[in-house]
Amino acid sequence: MSGGLPRRRLLGLAGAGVALAGAGAAVGAVAAAPRPPEVEGASSLTGAVPFHGEHQAGITTAAQDRMHFVAFDVKTTKREELVALLKEWTEAAVRMTAGQEAVDGGAVGGSAEAPPKDTGEALDLPPSALTITIGFGPSLFDGRFGLADRRPAALIDLPRFPGDDLDPNRSGGDLCVQACANDPQVAVHAIRNLARIGFGRVSVRWSQLGFGRTSSTTRAQATPRNMFGFKDGTRNVKAEESDVLRDHVWVSEEDGPDWLVGGTYLVARRIRMHIEIWDRTSLREQEEIVGRKKGTGAALGQVDEFDEMDLHVKGAGGLPVIGVDAHIRLASHEELGGARILRRGYNFTDGSDGLGHLDAGLFFVCFNRDSRTRFVPMQNALASRDKMMEYLEHTGSGHFAVPPGVREGGFWGDTLFR
Amino acid sequence: MSGGLPRRRLLGLAGAGVALAGAGAAVGAVAAAPRPPEVEGASSLTGAVPFHGEHQAGITTAAQDRMHFVAFDVKTTKREELVALLKEWTEAAVRMTAGQEAVDGGAVGGSAEAPPKDTGEALDLPPSALTITIGFGPSLFDGRFGLADRRPAALIDLPRFPGDDLDPNRSGGDLCVQACANDPQVAVHAIRNLARIGFGRVSVRWSQLGFGRTSSTTRAQATPRNMFGFKDGTRNVKAEESDVLRDHVWVSEEDGPDWLVGGTYLVARRIRMHIEIWDRTSLREQEEIVGRKKGTGAALGQVDEFDEMDLHVKGAGGLPVIGVDAHIRLASHEELGGARILRRGYNFTDGSDGLGHLDAGLFFVCFNRDSRTRFVPMQNALASRDKMMEYLEHTGSGHFAVPPGVREGGFWGDTLFR
C-alpha cells in the first residue's frame, strides 16, 4: 500500500464488501494527482479529498452522496482549551479525510487498558471522499473566549422569516461541523470521533443525517431530485465558475474581517416538507409552483434541463409562463439583484411525526459571501411569496462563519485565534 | 434498453451522477441471469432482485447497504379495502423492485390535472437491489378483518425483557414494510409511495432509517461493523446454509399455520447504544464484553475472524477466555440449545438526544421460524446476563409474521385472505 494510500483496507463501495481487486492503485492515483483548481474530489467515489488548501473542502467539492451535520455547544470557558481542541480536531480531520483513524494508535493499536482513540466503525472503509468543514456560530463571539470584537458584521443573528417554526433544539450552536462522504458510515464516524475527542469541552447540541444530496456542485454531476420529486439545483453555482465563486461565495479582503478572508458563511435550514399534501397536488400545480417540468427539469417554456429560463415569456392570457410566485423565479439572481448562493443540501427522513406521516424534507445548506445580501433577501422573497411555502415548514436554523482553508501545519480557526 | 432492463435511466451508484457508460448491458445481464438458489441479488449493487419466489426477497438476499423500515396502522375496518390495498401494494412493489415507477403512468405520464401516481424522487435511479418485504403484526388479527382465528400461535406479544424501555410510538403496528436498497433514496421512495397509495387506509405509525448494514447474509459479503466499532454478525446464518434456513428461519408445514408456510417471523428492536460511555471503556473491557478482538473480529483465543470459537478454553486463573457473560457466548446456539436466527440489522443515527449526545445505535432485525423458541430465549439470556446491556437501551420493538413469497399473479398475504 504505497503512494499515499490510506492504511485502511480498500473494500467495495459503502460496505458492499466486494473487494476492489486492483483498485488500490487507481484510488491512490486519484488522491495523489494534481487536482484542477476548485474542482476537488470530483473523480472518485472512494478516494481521498485533500484537506489542506486555500478554502476548506466540502464547499466546492463535488457534492458527496451522504452527510452528517452537527452543531456543538462549547462547554469549556477557557480560550486555551478551545484552541487546544481545534488543534486536536484538525489533526483528526487531516487523518480521517485521508482514510486513516482519528488518532494515531487508533482503535486497536494502543494500550488494552485504555479506551481506544478511534471508535472503529470505519476501520475497513476507504476515504469515501470524506470532507469535514467547520463553522463558527454567532454565540462563539459572546465574550467567553475574548472574541467579542472579532465577530464578523455579516455573522448576524438571522431574522425571523415569515412562517418560521424553529425548534431551538435544532437551531444555533457555537460550532458546526459538516461531514460529507459517499459512505454514510464514514461521515457518521467522523462526527462521532470529533464528539469523542471533544468530550468535556463540547457537547452535541443537534445533529442531522442527510441521506441523499440535492445539489450538484460540479458540471460533471447529474442534478439529483428532492423529496418533491423535482430536480433541485439546476442553476446552482458550480465549482468551475471561479468568477461567480469569487463574487458570491468567498469572503474577500474588501469584505473582511481579515481572519475570514478565503472563508464563507454557511446557512443551514431544516425544512420539513409536507410530502403527503404535496403528493395530493396535481402535476400542473406542482410544476407551476416550482416553475419547472417534473420529468426533464426544464424551466417552463423550455425543452431541456439546462436551457436558459425565460422569465419574460408570456403564455395564454398574457400571463408569464413562469408565474410571478414560482419558486425558480423568486430564487433567481435575476430577481434578486444578482445575488447568488452555492447550495449543498441533503434529503432527510427522521422517522415519523406521530400524526401518521413521515418526518421528511430538505436539510438546506448554502454557502455565501455575505448572508445579509444573499441568503436573507432570497429567503425573505421565498418565505413571503413562494407558493411552495404552503408545503414547507422551517424547523431548524443555523448561521456560521466558515474560516478559510487550513495551510499545512495550521489548524481550524488559526487566523481567528492568532 | 432491451433484455428486461428497467426504463429508468442508469446513472452512477447512489446518485453519484457519473453515467455508467456501457453498464446497462451488465446490469441487465445480472437481472436476467438465473440465480443460484437462496442467494438473490448477491452480484450487483445497482441491478434488480426478483420479487416473486418461494420466499419474500429481503431475507436471504445479500444484505443491502441501506434500509427504510415502516410500521403502519390500518385505518380502514373493511376487509375488502385491506385486501385491495395489499393487491395495489404488490403491484407497486413488483414495479419498484424492477426499477420502475410505483404505478404505470407514474410521475409525469398521467393527466396534468391529477396528482402524479409516483412521487418522482427515484426517477433517475437504477433498481439498486431494492427489496420490499411485508409483515403482519399481532394486532392485525384482533378481529377487525375476520382474522382472529388465523393468528399464528408463534405470533406472540413479545414479553417484557429486563431493561426494556420501549416507546409505544416506536413499537408495534398492524403491518410492517422493510425496504432495503443500496441507494437510500430508492428505499425511502419505496416506503413513501406505499404510504401514498395507502392514504386513508393506513397511516404511518413509526419508521426508521438505517444508514449502514450490520449483517452479512451471504458468504461473499464482508462482515460490517456496528456503532461499537466491532464486526457484527460473523456467525450469522448465511443464504448458502439451506439446512440451517430450513431448520431455523422458514415456517414449515409442521409448524403451520398453512397460510404462513414458507414465511417467517420478523423481530425488530430499536436499540439505542450509549456510544459515549462505550467510548470511555478500555479496549480490554470492550473485547471481553463482546468476546471478540476489535481489530480482526476473531473470537477471543482465536486468530482469524472465521476461526471456530472455543467456549471451553481456559486462560490465566482457570477462567474461560470467552467470559460467562460475553455477548457472543450468550448469543451462541451452543448455549441456546441450538437456536439460531438470521440477523439483518442496520446502524442508525437519529439526531441527538437533547442531553449532549448523538441518538445512535442498532436497528436490530432478525428472521426466525418461531420467535418463542429462538429470539425470545436469546433475548432473555442477553437482557439478563449480557455485560453489554449496560451500554444498551431497547427503545422500540415489533413482531410480525412474514408471509411466504408471492407467486406470479398473486399478492402479499393472498394465502391468509384466501
| Interface residue B203 vs chain A (CB under 8 A) | yes
pLDDT at A12: 31
Q: Which residues of A touch B200 (CB under 8 A)?
A: none
Tell me which residues of chain B, numbers 296 to 325, contact chain A at a CB-CB cutoff of 8 Å.
none
Contact residues on chain B for A224, CB-CB shorter than 8 A: 15, 17, 124, 185
Q: What are phi and psi of A364, to 5 degrees?
A: -80, 130
A32 lies in a domain? Answer: no
Query: In the block, which residue shows the cell 444508514?
Result: B211
Residue B28 domain-assigned (yes or no): no
**CA distances (Å), A152 to each of A140, A144, A344, in order?**
11, 16, 23
Check residue B37 and give its pLDDT. Answer: 37
The answer to whether A282 faces chain B, any CB pair under 8 Å, is yes
What is the spatial distance between Cα A191 and Cα A210, in angstroms, rounded to a whole number? 13
- Give the other-Cβ count within 10 Å of A302's Cβ: 19
Side chain identity at A355, as an amino acid letter?
A: L
Q: B-chain residues within 8 Å CB-CB of A110?
A: 283
Match 425483557 to its residue by C-alpha cell. B161
In the predicted model, what is the mean pLDDT of chain B? 90
Residue B262's pLDDT band (cuts 50, 70, 90):
very high
A273 touches chain B (CB under 8 A): no
* Whole-number Å distance between alpha carbons of B183 and A293: 24
Q: From residue A99, give the alpha-carbon distance in Å to each of A53, A133, A231.
A: 18, 16, 32
Residue B39 has pLDDT above 90, yes or no: no
- C-alpha A260/C-alpha A152 separation (Å) is 8
Interface with A, mutate which of B216, B279, B287, B293 (most A CBs under 10 A) = B279
pLDDT of A328 > 90? The answer is: yes
Which residues of B fall within a CB distance of 8 Å from A111? Answer: 282-283
Q: Determine, for residues B121 and A205 on separate chains, whether the beta-carbon distance falls below 8 Å.
A: no
Distance between CA A330 and CA A323 in Å, rounded? Answer: 10
Q: What is the mean pLDDT of residues A24-30?
A: 30
- A 10 A CB-CB count for B264 gives 29
**Exposed/middle/buried for A244, CB within 10 Å: 0-12, 13-18, 19+?**
middle
Phi, psi of B185 (to 5 degrees): -65, -35
Which residues 387-416 of B have a C-beta within 8 angstroms of A? none
Min Cα distance A19 → chain B (Å) is 8
- Cα-based distances in Å from A108 to A187, A223, A312, B192, B312: 20, 41, 64, 41, 25
Chain B contact present for A167, CB below 8 A: no
**Global ipTM:** 0.90
| Number of domains chain B is built from | 1
Q: Is residue B410 part of a domain?
A: no
Residues A305, A303: Cα–Cα separation, whole Å: 7
Indicate whether B380 belongs to any domain: yes
B120 and A199: CB-CB below 8 Å?
no
- Distance between CA atoms of A59 and A67, rounded to whole angstroms? 13
The β-bridge relationship of strands B358-368 and B346-352 is: antiparallel
| CA nearest neighbour of A127 among A96, A104, A102, A105 | A96
Domain that includes residue A354, residue range = 45-147+159-402
- Written as one string, the DSSP assignment of A166-208 is --GGGS--SEEEEEEESSHHHHHHHHHHHHHHTBTTEEEEEEE
Cell (9 digits) for A406 = 487550513
Q: To the nearest 5 percent, what fractions of chain B are helix, strand and coil? A: 25, 20, 55
**A282 contact residues in B (CB cutoff 8 A):** 111-115
Q: Is the dihedral of CA B333, B275, A182, A349 positive or negative?
A: positive
Q: How far apart are CA B106 and CA B82, in angstroms?
A: 23
Rounded Cα gap, residues B105 and B118, in angstroms = 8
Average pLDDT over residues A172-185: 98
pLDDT at B316: 86
Classify residue A224: in a domain, yes or no: yes
Instruction: Find the distance separating the first CA and the last CA of chain B, reported in whole Å.
Output: 38
Q: What pLDDT digit, counting tens, does each position of B43-84 carry?
A: 479 999 999 999 999 999 999 999 999 999 999 999 999 999
Please indicate if any CB of chain B lies within 8 Å of the CB of A76.
no
B224 to chain A: which residues are within 8 Å by CB? 15, 17, 124, 185
Confidence check: pLDDT of B11 > 70: no
User: Is residue B255, in this structure, part of any structural domain at all?
Assistant: yes
Q: Tell which residue, A214, A232, A250, A219, has the closest CA to residue A59.
A: A250
Q: Is residue A83 in some structural domain?
A: yes
Q: Would residue A310 count as lying in a domain?
A: yes
**Distance of alpha carbon A6 from alpha carbon A102, whole angstroms:** 12
